[in-house]
Amino acid sequence: MSEGLRRERARPSAISRRSLLRVGGLTGLGGLNLARLLRAEDASRGLKRMPPLRSCILMFHYGGPSHLDTWDMKPAAPREVRGEFGSIATNVPEFRISEHLPMSARVMDRLAVIRSVHHPMTNHNAAAFATLCGRNPLKGDLELLGNDRNDPPCVGSVLSRELTERAGLPTFVALPHVMYNVVTLPGQIAGFLGSAHNPVQVSADPNVDDFHLPEFELPDNVSLDRLDDRESLLKLIDDPLRRAESGTGASALDVYKSRAFRLLRSPEVRRAFDLRREDPRLRDRYGRTKLGQSTLLARRLIEAGVRFVTVYDGQHNGQLANWDAHSDVFDRLKNSLLPPADRAFSALIEDLEARGLLESTLVISMGEFGRTPKVNASAGRDHWPFCYSVVLAGGGVRGGTSHGASDKLGAYPDLDGVTPGDLAATLFERFGLDPAAEIRDLTGRPYKIADGKPIGALFAS
């Protein structure tokens, strides 16, 4: 296949035989375009009529999970494409997923799988930026792309700027660590919006017995009463301020200080981070792993009133630390990666539903890209951003459905391609924000908060 044809296949507007058949009675290219336009407008109106989201949890599986071995299996493809895994039935009769996702199979009726996500970034750093920020990086597809002060912000930082902060609580929290790939992985911070809209970063493992957050704890010689003494508190946070990104403006530092005051004083924050309050049986259900307990902590945070929580799964470069399985992909997925992810994700869906929070909370599970359709000589799969899967639940999503489709090899979108910008636009619109609203960088250059268009069909009744 030529490079030009590959690019054409990856475009959201690509027309396939399957999409023609779905149109039904309408014939001709004009009829097809009209049908899609009317469908999109209809779905968008339905999305806007829905109550706005209360919160969102983003589970980000760094390294690139294989869509072909999880949510978009190809049993009819040649063995070097379909791989070693079989599929299992779910609680939605027409929907089958990987045999190593048995717990997710039981909540399939609450999930929507997008099987046509794509972007052009083949390296982890650029791809992470694209997916966490909803737009391609200005620097292009560089291997060691780091953070830049004038970068566009991640979606959590946009929400931090646009949404009203709930009293005593941060709007945006990230846990359980900062992501690295030789350098700090770009796309985790506020960029040109400034440090005031960076996440409250948790850098501790919630699965350890003595889990605590030193940044939210006062020294032994400082009481809550002393927090009324601004000079004393400023001394406590001087070091964190000095470690804030260089060049931050005075107004941003003032906001940073104000947030530090509120968090140190907030009983809601201390309660939300206290996992000892949870039933041990529920903690077991999430899994006694770093990912499992981080996911449970995310649920506690949104229940307390935090609006956006990112849970990072996989930290450092190297196959043994994340989903970047260039070799032994089936062994890694079966024995190390999928069991804790399956357990934590399914537990979160069930827990949110039991607490009456699923309809108002959007859950997104994704990586920065998928894996190559063809298994390589090391029994692994390599980077593949040209088509992969993202899973959504809650927030009004139509459960038990799929959106878009990949071709017969899982290589390129075959129907209704979706970009990270479309996902970002969908998220913002569900929070009641206009994706076309503008923000400006440090040079005054305007950006829409999202480059894409909302995917109304995911939510239309």
Q: What is the C-alpha to C-alpha distance for residues 336 and 351, in angstroms, rounded to an integer?
A: 24
Q: What is the C-alpha to C-alpha distance for residues 234 and 195, in angstroms, rounded to an integer?
A: 17
**395 lies in a domain?**
yes
* Total number of domains constituting the chain: 1
Q: Which residue has the tokens 């990104």?
A: 245
Q: Which domain holds residue 13?
A: 3-27+35-137+311-458
Contact between 248 and 194 (Cβ < 8 Å): yes
Kindly report, residue by residue over 326-380, the tens digit of the pLDDT.
999 999 999 999 999 999 999 999 999 999 999 999 999 999 999 999 999 999 9
Nearest Cα neighbor of 143 from 113, 175, 121 is 121
State the pLDDT at residue 210. Answer: 87
**296 lies in a domain?**
no
State the pLDDT at residue 253. Answer: 53
Q: List Cβ neighbours of 10 (8 Å cut-off, separation of 6 or more).
A: 118, 120, 386, 387, 412, 413, 417
Nearest Cα neighbor of 383 from 330, 329, 421, 428 is 329
State the pLDDT at residue 14. Answer: 39
Three-state SS for 109-121 is: HHEEEEEEECCCC
**278 lies in a domain?**
no
State the pLDDT at residue 343. Answer: 98
**238 lies in a domain?**
no
Q: What is the C-alpha to C-alpha distance for residues 104 and 179, in angstroms, rounded to an integer?
A: 26
Contact between 111 and 97 (Cβ < 8 Å): no
State the pLDDT at residue 39. Answer: 52
**172 lies in a domain?**
no
Kindly report, residue by residue over 403-437, the tens digit of the pLDDT.
999 999 999 999 999 999 999 999 999 999 999 99
**266 lies in a domain?**
no
Model confidence band, residue 10 (pLDDT cutoffs 50, 70, 90): very low
- Neighbouring C-beta atoms of residue 199, cutoff 10 Å: 22
Half-sphere exposure of 385 (CA within 13 A, CB side): 20
**180 lies in a domain?**
no
Kindly report, residue by residue over 116-147, the tens digit of the pLDDT.
999 999 999 999 999 999 999 988 898 778 88
Model confidence band, residue 254 (pLDDT cutoffs 50, 70, 90): low
Q: Quick one: how many helices (H) and strands (E) in the chain?
A: 15, 18
**441 lies in a domain?**
yes
Alpha helix (H) residue ranges in 83-133: 102-105, 124-133
Nearest Cα neighbor of 20 from 11, 9, 8, 28 is 28
238 vs 104, higher pLDDT: 104
Q: Residue 107: which CATH number?
A: 3.40.720
Model confidence band, residue 395 (pLDDT cutoffs 50, 70, 90): very high
Q: What is the C-alpha to C-alpha distance for residues 301 and 269, in angstroms, rounded to an integer?
A: 8
Quote the tokens at residue 266. 């907030």
Kindly report, residue by residue over 30-65, the tens digit of the pLDDT.
333 444 445 555 555 556 679 999 999 999 999 999
Contact between 307 and 166 (Cβ < 8 Å): yes
Q: CA 52 from chain center: how many Å? A: 18
